[in-house]
Amino acid sequence: MQKDAKHSSGTLTAGAPAPFIPKFLHLITGGIASVLLMLPAPWMGAVVAVGLAWDQLWLRISESAPVRLIGGSFSRLAVWLAARIMRDERNAPYLHTLMGVGIWTPVLFWACFFWQVLRGFQTPWYTQLAVAFAYNVLMMGPYFRFFSNIATLIHKEGHDTRGLFKAPYAWLNNVFGWWLGIFYGHVPETYPLGHQRIHHKYDNGYGDVTCTLDLDRTDPLQWFVYLRRFALYWTGVSILTYFIRRKQWKPAGRMALAMACYYGIIISFMIVNPWFGFAFLLLPHLSTIIYLAAINYIWHTFCDPADQDNAYINSVTILDGHYNVFNEDFHVTHHHHPQMHWTKMADDYYRNVEKYKANKASVFRDTQEFEMFVWLMMGRYDLLASHYVDLTGTMSQEDIIALLRHRMQPITEFTSAEAA
């Protein structure tokens, strides 16, 4: 199913070196870069493991009467506030994160900073390490819920060009991207510029700086090629390069300013206290690159080579997802209607389910993105197939595996992208 757009064809080869760089040198430097990017993985894994244990405790107490009473009061406050300060009252749940995590994490950050500066240097290295680890766990939240809510709201904020807040509270617009995102490893302007203007222009096709399609997604090692590509995007480098090459100086200037501010903050803290700047700002940034590179890879790991613009196939939908934050699991709907309000996305899927069926869409059930990524890296196509939703009711598990593997083959001849 082709979307209405002006098309051009092009070629792209996974990890292709520049003509003046010998292939072996390119492979070596690329491998070194991937290893360096993966260095935070053990730390990130430990943080996530403790967060999962914390989540089990949270699940046990979240249904208790006191917690439900506090939660209900908080929700009513959010609804009351949303009617007064937000453009769209349906976004009242956003205020839960703004008033909760938006206070929790900055207070925690500054408390750790003053402790580190005033007393940290007097304590053993392992105490400083323990404090940094505790901060990262408490900042991420149980089952990294705090992180996922902030990341999702930066995404939502990036799509809301009018701003989430109305006058006289418009000063709160961009509070997620330009304030809270800094604590969570997000470079400001990445979403409104890189995601909105580039990713949604090309929909993961030729020209998209985070394109996955030229990679053999059946080969786990290819993700490390993608990790390097995603790192250039997440740091703002490929976004800035994209606009400079097209002489689009205004967005290029915005991106350059955002990068200067973000990395200037990290450098400033590292000058004051190198360990603090590294463990409390740079390490979350590097960890976020790994996490979101995995998530974005699975969102766009499938594509029909003969129908490259088919969003029903080249974006993933997850039903009954374990981690559906503000309906992000309806990713096909998001690519068809980037400005659709999150409260309408589920209805859009069910209204158009026959189109999903006709296209044998990439629909899965009872899972979540990171779990699917782990299955992909392990080559567990049987698990992917068992969670695939065969809307036609005609495919065996072997048929589904064959279909999924076909849709993960590398595509180097693109016909799907809008002219750059």
Q: HEC profile for 139-196?
A: HHCHHHHHHHHHHHHHHHHHHCCCCCECCCCHHHCCHHHHHHHHHCCCCCCHHHHHHH
- H/E stretch holding 365 reads strand 363-365
- Residue ranges of the domains in the chain? 21-299, 311-417
pLDDT at 417: 46
As a whole number of angstroms, the distance between CA 11 and CA 411 comes to 9
Buried b (16+ CB within 10 A) or exposed e, 184-207: bbbbbbbbbbbbbbbbeebbbbbb
β-partners of residue 165 are: 86
DSSP state of 388: B
CA 144 to chain centroid, in Å, comes to 13
pLDDT-derived band at 27 (thresholds 50, 70, 90) equals: confident
Are the C-beta atoms of residues 361 and 315 closer than 8 Å to each other?
A: no
Are the C-beta atoms of residues 30 and 228 closer than 8 Å to each other?
A: yes
Average pLDDT over residues 133-141: 97
Higher pLDDT, 20 or 118: 118
- Which tokens belong to 395? 């495919």
CA-CA-CA-CA torsion for 204, 205, 206, 210, nearest 10 degrees? 10
Residue 308 pLDDT greater than 70, yes or no: yes
- Which tokens belong to 232? 């250039």
Average pLDDT over residues 198-211: 93
322-339 pLDDT, tens digit per residue, is 989 999 999 999 999 999
As a whole number of angstroms, the distance between CA 321 and CA 326 comes to 12
pTM of the entire structure? 0.91
pLDDT at 85: 97
142-201 pLDDT, tens digit per residue, is 999 999 999 999 999 999 989 999 999 999 999 999 999 999 999 999 999 999 999 999
Helix, strand, or coil (residue 323):
coil
Average pLDDT, the chain: 92
Most confident of 2-11, 202-211, 280-289, 404-413: 280-289
Are the C-beta atoms of residues 374 and 386 closer than 8 Å to each other?
A: no
pLDDT at 141: 96
Q: Which of 382, 374, 285, 292 has the alpha carbon at shortest distance from 328?
A: 292
pLDDT at 416: 55
As a whole number of angstroms, the distance between CA 276 and CA 99 comes to 25
C-alpha count within 13 angstroms, C-beta hemisphere, residue 388: 29
